[in-house]
Chain A
Amino acid sequence: MKVSQGVFFGRKVYLYHPEYFNEHEEVIIFTREEFRRMYQSMSAQMEQINRTYLTLDPGEEWRVIGVWFKIMESIHRLNLNLDDIFSNKPLQTYLDTYIHDTIDSPPMVLPSSLNEVVTPESLGVNWSR
């Protein structure tokens, strides 16, 4: 997927990589911080599942049920994370708030080196391979 970072200013978003998108293409915009939270939490669940699985020896059939419940719990959390994206329900973990500033912002100055590409690492997630 062609993902670009952007900066919000005035009612518009200024893109780091405008060449990724076609004219009049529909896009969906998330704040980087919120997306990072969701993405990191999902990756943590995946890691948890893998670790749970590693505790299991191949011969131990009788332990499978116990591991299964633990994995289902992680999957449930994974599912909740994914549902949070488009649901209208308030997030349980969402306690931060912000104050709306009424002062006029200075005119938009874009830094000259806007070329950072989004990677999982830049969001704090390392997929171990």
Chain B
Amino acid sequence: MKMRYSYGIVQGKKIITYQPHLFQNYQDLLVFPAEDFRKWHSQINEYLDGVYQVNAHKQEKKIPVGGDDLNLVLGVLCEITLEMEELFNPAKETDNTYYYISNMDEDYKKIKTTFYGRYRYKIERKTLHITPELKYQHILEIVEYAHKLWGQNNRSLKMNMVSRKE
């Protein structure tokens, strides 16, 4: 299921939706001006792409990240916070003079640092497929182990008895 959204058009005090089948009667909805909302969406995308660019730049040149980069990114994040806070402020005018379309390669957005990603092939190749025989074997192993423990217990009991006799 994807996120439900529909475009619509204002007619008098009501709105006619293009995809009414997505909603249910009496459902609470939020209505945004389409142009402004797309602008807001693209604005935040632009900021995030900026952060990814800093990351990619450092990774490609193999330069370690420094405090300056961190401050730069946090500055950008501050802007995102502001954008999100101002979303419901009716007094805020959106600047429609330009519109950002992200043409960044998706490859830059992937996380390359997690160990699971790097060693996934090796890790997944080693997982066993569990069959009934394997389960049975496993139970047998447990029984054997319990048997061994039991034997050890008994032996220590015998030893104790021997030591008491002496």
A interface residues, Cβ below 8 angstroms from B = 1-15, 18, 20-35, 38-39, 42-43, 46, 49-50, 53, 56, 58, 61, 64-65, 67-69, 71-73, 75-76, 78-79, 82, 84-91, 94, 97-98, 101, 105, 117-120, 127
By a CB distance below 8 angstroms, the chain A residues around B44 are 82
> Shortest Cβ distance from B47 into chain A, in angstroms?
10
Q: How many residues on the B side are at the interface (Cβ–Cβ under 8 A)?
A: 65
By a CB distance below 8 angstroms, the chain B residues around A23 are 10-12
By a CB distance below 8 angstroms, the chain B residues around A11 are 16-17, 20
By a CB distance below 8 angstroms, the chain B residues around A15 are 13-15, 31
B interface residues, Cβ below 8 angstroms from A = 1-17, 20, 23-38, 40-41, 44-45, 48, 51-52, 55, 64-67, 69-70, 73-74, 77, 80-81, 84-90, 92, 94, 109, 111, 113
> Are B88 and A118 within 8 A (Cβ)?
yes
Cα A56 to Cα B71 in complex, Å, equals 12
Sample of 12 further A-B pairs with CB below 8 A, known A6-B15, A28-B31: A4-B31, A8-B26, A8-B27, A20-B90, A32-B27, A32-B30, A53-B74, A65-B65, A71-B70, A82-B45, A94-B2, A120-B87
> Are B32 and A30 within 8 A (Cβ)?
yes
Chain A at the B interface: mostly helix, strand, loop or mixed? mixed
Can you list 9 contacts pairing A with B, beta carbon distance less than 8 Å? A1-B88, A2-B90, A3-B30, A6-B31, A46-B81, A61-B67, A79-B52, A79-B109, A120-B85
CB-contact partner of B29 in A2, A30, A42, under 8 A: A30
